[in-house]
Structure 1
Amino acid sequence: MFTGIVETIGTVSSLIPQDDTTTGGGGTSLTISNAAPILTDVHLGDSISVNGTCLTVTAFDNDSFKVGVAPETLRRTNLGSLTVGSSVNLERAVAGHVRFGGHFVQGHVDTIATILSKTPDGNAVTFRFQPRDKDVLMYIVEKGYVTVDGASLTVVAVSDDWFEVMLVAYTQEKIVTAAKPVGGEVNIEVDMTGKYIEKQVKAYLGGARGFMLESLVEKIVERKLAQK
């Protein structure tokens, strides 16, 4: 579990494809340097969020750490587009004794989104994103939370095709997203609360109570017909 508060920005120093099925089968071994601020208490097997993707530490030293990235992760996130020298947002898994400054983030990327526009507003910048999987927009609400490349951000506008967040000057200095160009890609994780609510509502309206949903639809149709 993470908070969506980026602790530091690291740099990709090595990308090694893992073709042997015994060592990853098409995945990648990723080494990230300039990560000293988050390695003071690291252990093998710990989870670190890399651009919002929860990955497991397999080796580390005072300044860098290594993780394995599975083929499925490469397909579902923007980690597959990283190159040596790329900057990435980093956050350690949350500890039980720390203050919770962001929102609950799993590190499980729901989809990739494309930056449609960057609009300056004073010293802030409004970013408009278009998700590859439009279904995630049903979980994104104005003034709610969304995780962009691992950073917890507040939604300022949302439509059926895109959503927007605003980055204040301080945030622009602390996350990699601010430097990405129009057309660039970001990892998106929506607020898990909406998913749980949806599942519970479906369970309530479906199954043995399926007739309730049918009755509701019938009443809506009858009301619309009566208005004509």
Structure 2
Amino acid sequence: MRSRWAFVALAILTACVVVAGPLPGEWALVRWALTTRSDALTRLIWWLTFISSATPALLICAFASSAHLAQQRKRRAAFDIAQITSATWPLTAYVGALISNIAMRIAIGRTRPSVDYIPHGLPELQADFQRFSYPSGHAGAATIALFALAALSASHPRLRIPAMLGAAFLMLGVGFGRVYLGVHWPNDVLGGYLLAAGWIGIGLHLRDKLG
């Protein structure tokens, strides 16, 4: 049973590679997203973009890892490397997804939509690989960071469902925002979600195996 997350992760990561090509109707979805633009919505999208950027998402994963470690400390008098690795699975998932994201962008080389894009309110560092769009790094980072936060509610049954629903709502908002800003195709967002989900599966496998 402890290996179930490994199989789930493998299946999801395989799906991420399989769906790397363009999807039917993507251009129509991009055009629709552009028609919804407004000043108020753009400000909201900028905020969602910021929290799913590399540094904020990394800090959220570090916080969640620290919280999981603190929870384990209450149950154990001493720690070893395996238990620390188990508790810090959000950081493992984040770093793994980041490295995979860069590798896939370079290998697949899909260009961004040719539309007027809205610059982010807080510009980020621009690396050469970022001219490629598949998979979306923001969608993946948001998925891992928000899931890690929501997972902290696992020991509180009354909070579990609201936390997961809230996380899912924000993940979808980030994904929509990538298309709204004109920087990603819908399939890039789907790929980002899948890549992140696969690495979450790897993180949970390590948590169950080593914890």
- TM-score normalized with structure 2 length: 0.28
Greater strand percent: which structure? 1
User: Which structure's relative contact order is higher, taking Cα pairs within 8 Å and 6+ residues apart?
Assistant: 2
Computing the radius of gyration from Cα coordinates, the structure with the larger value is 1
Greater helix percent: which structure? 2
